[in-house]
């Protein structure tokens, strides 16, 4: 995917006030609404900006155009594109087999990786393992960074983190300190927390390299459960996913999200389960894997969707030390 230039290239992108018509007063209004940079401004619509900033639509349109111009929104040349790909980083899953499914090095930055599957299939355990492994040095498969864990179901367990940390020979307390956990109480709160992450990266300079959202869809599913609400739910989910992608792109972060399945009675053969959010989530996710229980205590991951990888399967184990190739017994 070709994306716009952003602040992560050189770290000296001009601020909002470099745009004609936007003074410090308007800039702080925008910031209060979660728009911190030219990218945020460039993707706004003139009426939205006009309302938010209290300026006329003509001024708003000019400002947006200026921001787009400065961002060279849309295209970049091949060399620039190549340079961007070069700073992609990877996080090992803890299993060579599962890393192999993702092309060899685990999950990657500037991408959304979605794991969906039934309860107990290992979605949360993989997420917890990644929050530990992201802290590993590069040569051991990590990204030398911190993790954010957005917990919608109250499944974050510090004790599990400590066990997984011990498994890689790290100091459990230090590892725990590098994981920023927030409980999202509903979908609006979950959405709001994304802005917080951007803030943490930009203002506090936190070296966040991984964002886990467990689960991506549970709140949306619960809150928009009526028949007539499906379109609203999908629209909200769609917007959320776009924000996620923007976070991944702008700050070179890896994003791992979990998703539940629902029974699909229309399917007669194979595994009759479908991911919640369907195509909306599927299209936004860069990598999509389906997790299920396999034989003899294994878990099996199947690559459902990936830009340039075959539809393979990989087996792994859930152990006290997180995701591994070897059985815990």
Positions touching ligand GTP (CB under 6 A) are 117, 119-125, 260, 318-320, 328
State in angstroms the smallest separation of the CB of 127 from ligand GTP: 8
When the beta carbons of 58 and 222 are compared against ligand GTP, the nearer one is 222
When the beta carbons of 36 and 149 are compared against ligand GTP, the nearer one is 149
State in angstroms the smallest separation of the CB of 320 from ligand GTP: 4
When the beta carbons of 15 and 294 are compared against Mg ion, the nearer one is 294
Alpha-carbon Rg of the chain, whole angstroms? 21
Task: Quote the distance between the C-alpha of residue 141 and its chain's center.
Answer: 19
State in angstroms the smallest separation of the CB of 276 from ligand GTP: 11
Nearest residue by C-beta to Mg ion?
124
Query: Nearest-5° angle of CA 94, CA 98, CA 103?
Result: 110
For residue 296, the SS3 value is helix
State in angstroms the smallest separation of the CB of 87 from ligand GTP: 30
- Which of Mg ion, ligand GTP, none lies near 233, with the C-beta cut-off 5 to 8 A by kind? none
Tell me the backbone φ, ψ of residue 323, rounded to 5 degrees.
-70, 130
State in angstroms the smallest separation of the CB of 125 from Mg ion: 8
Tokens of 166: 């011990």
Alpha helices in the chain, H assignment, sequence order: 24-32, 38-42, 46-53, 57-71, 78-86, 96-101, 123-133, 158-167, 172-177, 187-203, 218-223, 230-251, 278-284
- Which of Mg ion, ligand GTP, none lies near 113, with the C-beta cut-off 5 to 8 A by kind? none
When the beta carbons of 124 and 252 are compared against ligand GTP, the nearer one is 124
Residues between 112 and 141 with contacts to Mg ion, criterion CB under 5 A: 123-124
When the beta carbons of 109 and 319 are compared against ligand GTP, the nearer one is 319
CB-based contact 162:175 (threshold 8 Å): yes
Residues 71-110, one symbol each (x = binds Mg ion by CB under 5 A, - = not), give ----------------------------------------
CA distance 322 to 160: 8
CA distance 318 to 224: 33
When the beta carbons of 40 and 122 are compared against ligand GTP, the nearer one is 122
Helices 123-133/158-167 angle, 10° precision: 60
When the beta carbons of 148 and 276 are compared against ligand GTP, the nearer one is 276
State in angstroms the smallest separation of the CB of 329 from ligand GTP: 9
Tell me the backbone φ, ψ of residue 268, rounded to 5 degrees.
-95, -25
Tell me the backbone φ, ψ of residue 211, rounded to 5 degrees.
-125, 125
Tokens of 233: 């739910």
- Which of ligand GTP, Mg ion, none lies near 120, with the C-beta cut-off 5 to 8 A by kind? ligand GTP
The contact set with Mg ion (CB under 5 A) reads: 123-124
């Amino acid at each position: 995917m070709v994306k716009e230039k952003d602040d992560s290239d050189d770290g000296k992108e001009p601020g909002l006030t470099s745009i004609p018509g936007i003074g410090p007063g308007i800039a702080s209004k925008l910031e209060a609404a979660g728009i911190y940079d030219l990218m945020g401004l460039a993707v706004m619509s003139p009426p939205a900006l006009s309302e938010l900033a209290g300026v006329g639509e003509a001024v708003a349109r000019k400002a947006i155009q200026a921001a787009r111009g400065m961002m060279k929104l849309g295209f970049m040349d091949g060399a620039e594109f190549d340079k961007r790909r070069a700073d992609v980083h990877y996080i090992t899953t803890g299993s060579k087999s599962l890393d192999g499914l993702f092309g060899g090095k685990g999950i990657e930055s500037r991408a959304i990786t979605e794991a969906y599957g039934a309860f107990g299939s290992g979605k949360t355990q993989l997420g917890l393992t990644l929050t530990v492994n992201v802290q590993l040095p590069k040569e051991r498969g990590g990204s030398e960074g911190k993790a954010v864990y957005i917990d919608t179901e109250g499944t974050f367990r510090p004790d599990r983190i400590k066990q997984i940390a011990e498994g890689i020979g790290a100091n459990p307390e230090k590892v725990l300190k590098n994981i920023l956990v927030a409980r999202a109480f509903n979908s609006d709160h979950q959405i709001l927390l994304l802005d917080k992450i951007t803030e943490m990266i930009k203002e506090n300079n936190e070296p966040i390299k991984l964002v886990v959202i467990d689960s991506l869809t549970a709140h949306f599913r619960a809150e928009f459960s009526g028949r007539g609400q499906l379109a609203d739910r999908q629209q909200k989910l769609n917007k959320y996913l776009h924000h996620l992608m923007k976070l991944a792109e702008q700050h070179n972060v890896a994003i791992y999200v979990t998703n539940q399945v629902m029974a699909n009675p229309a399917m007669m053969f194979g595994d009759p389960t479908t991911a919640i959010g369907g195509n909306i989530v599927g299209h936004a996710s860069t990598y999509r894997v389906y997790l299920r229980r396999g034989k003899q205590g294994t878990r099996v991951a199947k690559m459902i969707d990936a830009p340039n990888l075959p539809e393979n399967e990989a087996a792994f184990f859930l152990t006290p030390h997180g995701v591994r190739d070897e059985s815990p017994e």
